[in-house]
């Protein structure tokens, strides 16, 4: 990013190449729509391109995903306002079901597994937005507490408390699965 700010346009291309896939994947977890995730990814990199005052106070990836998270949360808020919320337990029409290979789970086991995943997704979706975001960052992005706290604008102890409450809620809602 510092090289790009110094005028090296090829550096920006390297940033896009390195982070594009991660950003799209992360955004897809929020929006559950590939086209929207791609569109938001373009907006992310457009914002990165326009930044002229980047200072490396944190890791570049942390800084970048702060932009990604804010865009995703804004999109979710806007969609909620329009009552066009996409549910985590709904599969997009363009996603093909898993194909079973020999040695794979039986159809019955696979269906049970899918139902369990659907229940977990539904339980996560029902969490308050801040809890849901923290769980995504912690479990799906495998971010460190410090990075999550930084992106959510809270202290690490407050984040740990928030995650504890979120996971406790999930344990209660999913107790029937154990």
In this predicted model, what pLDDT tens digit does every residue of 37-75 receive, in sequence order? 999 999 999 988 888 777 777 788 888 888 888 888 888
Give me the pLDDT at residue 90, please.
56
> Domain map of the chain by residue range?
1-86, 101-178
What is the per-residue burial (b if ≥16 Cβ within 10 Å, else e) of 31-50?
bbeeebbbebbebbbeebee
pLDDT band for 95, please (50, 70, 90 cuts).
low
Residue where the block lists tokens 């929207």 = 36
pLDDT at 93 over 80: no
Say how far residue 105 (Cα) sits from the centre of its chain.
28
Architecture of domain 1-86: Orthogonal Bundle (1.10)
Would you say residue 169 has pLDDT above 50? yes
Query: What is the DSSP code (8-state) at residue 175?
Result: G
**What is the pTM for the complete model shown?**
0.51
Fold that domain 101-178 belongs to in CATH = Arc Repressor Mutant, subunit A (1.10.10)
**Which token pair is 13?**
């291309």
Residue 100: the pLDDT is: 46
């Amino acid at each position: 990013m510092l090289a790009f700010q110094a005028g090296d346009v090829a550096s920006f291309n390297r940033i896009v190449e390195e982070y594009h896939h991660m950003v799209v994947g992360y955004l897809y977890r929020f929006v559950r729509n590939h086209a929207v995730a791609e569109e938001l990814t373009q907006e992310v990199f457009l914002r990165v391109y326009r930044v002229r005052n980047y200072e490396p106070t944190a890791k570049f990836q942390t800084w970048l995903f702060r932009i990604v998270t804010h865009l995703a949360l804004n999109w979710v808020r806007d969609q909620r306002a329009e009552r066009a919320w996409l549910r985590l337990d709904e599969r997009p029409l363009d996603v093909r079901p898993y194909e079973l290979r020999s040695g794979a789970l039986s159809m019955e086991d696979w269906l049970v597994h899918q139902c369990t995943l659907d229940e977990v997704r539904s339980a996560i979706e029902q969490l308050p937005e801040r809890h849901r975001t923290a769980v995504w960052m912690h479990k799906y992005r495998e971010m460190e507490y410090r990075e999550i706290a930084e992106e959510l604008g809270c202290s690490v102890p407050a984040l740990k408390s928030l995650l504890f409450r979120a996971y406790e809620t999930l344990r209660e809602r999913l107790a029937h699965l154990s």
